[in-house]
Structure 1
Amino acid sequence: MVLGGSMFLAFFRNACCTFLLLAGTAGLASATPSASEDKIIESLIQRVAARANMVFLRNGNEYSAADAARHMREKYEYFKQEIVTAEDFILRCGTRSEMTKVTYKVRMAGGNAVRESSDFLYEELRALRQR
């Protein structure tokens, strides 16, 4: 069957509208963390805040664990539409500065050993998921 010009345009318009509608809703459905994943992310941030003996190194400055947790929470709120899992949270909010691209580090107070914040956060995440 051969479609006439107006029938083809109507078919094409409907197909395009359907595609755009499906593409738009598919992106929205997976754009934020589930309630359970959000709870894990919040628990991870709370675990950071509770580390009174930890120094957070960001862009050459030292911050308390409470300040680090506050910073991560602010980044989480800002990037929440791009985060689905706690692993996404670590990569987007706990690994490096968006401005300078310098990696975040942590050091236990009084200690000399410095480690990547992502290593610390993945350890904390593993502990949370094992509970």
Structure 2
Amino acid sequence: MLRIFGRSVYCVLALWTGLAAVASATPSPSEDKVIQTLIQRVEKTTDMVFVRNGSEYNATDAASHMRSKYDHFKAEIVTAEDFIERCATRSEMTKVAYKVKLAGGAAMRESGDFLRDELRKLRQH
């Protein structure tokens, strides 16, 4: 009986330790810099229209919204990919995907796809 109890306690402690590690996850300084650079790229793309829940926003407002969500969810984010998925792809309230419209007649596309492309370019340099 003690052996079963001891294993149960060990399993609970291992699970708790694992959950505590996940709960305190934050991006490394280098990954935080990548995330901040992605947000800055959005902010500087002045010919972009960001569509959130059917309303259009300029690049500055879009970047501000992403920064706010990043600050709020930072403890759940480890990578730039996590940031894109958690903060820049869809509305938390409506679950509707964010869209991006670029000047020059480019078709509207989902913001997650746009940001993953930007991240790929950023990591190639």
Please tell me whether the aligned partners of residues 22 and 76 of structure 2 are also in contact (alpha carbons under 8 angstroms): no
Gaps of 5+ in 1: 1-7
Contact 2:66 2:87 in 1 (8 A): yes
Number of aligned residue pairs = 123
What secondary structure, in the 3-state scheme, does the structure 2 residue paired with 1:79 have? helix
The Cα of 1:108 is off from its aligned counterpart by: 1.2
1:113 is displaced (CA, Å) by: 1.5
1:67 is matched with 61
Structure 1 counterpart of 2:124, from 110, 116, 130: 130
The structure-2 alpha-carbon separation of the partners of 1:24 and 1:106, relative to structure 1 and needing over 3 Å to count, comes to closer
State the TM-score, normalizing by the size of structure 1.
0.81
Per the alignment, residue 27 of structure 2 pairs with: 33
TM-score (norm 2): 0.84
> Compared with structure 1, are the counterparts of its residues 117 and 27 closer, same or farther at alpha carbon in structure 2 (3 Å cutoff)?
closer
Q: Percent same amino acid among aligned pairs?
A: 62
Matched ranges for 1:1-131 at <5 A: 12=6, 19=14, 22-23=17-18, 25-27=20-22, 31-109=25-103, 111=105, 113-131=107-125
Give the gaps of 5 or more residues in structure 2. Answer: none
Structure having the higher Rg:
1
Q: 1:94 to 1:18 in 2, by over 3 A?
A: closer
Task: Give the root-mean-square deviation of aligned CA atoms.
Answer: 2.3
Q: SS where residue 78 of structure 2 aligns?
A: coil
CA 25–114 in structure 1, closer or farther in 2 if over 3 Å, else same: closer
Distance 1:16 1:130, change over 3 A: closer
Moved segments of 4+, more than 2 Å:
14-29, 109-112
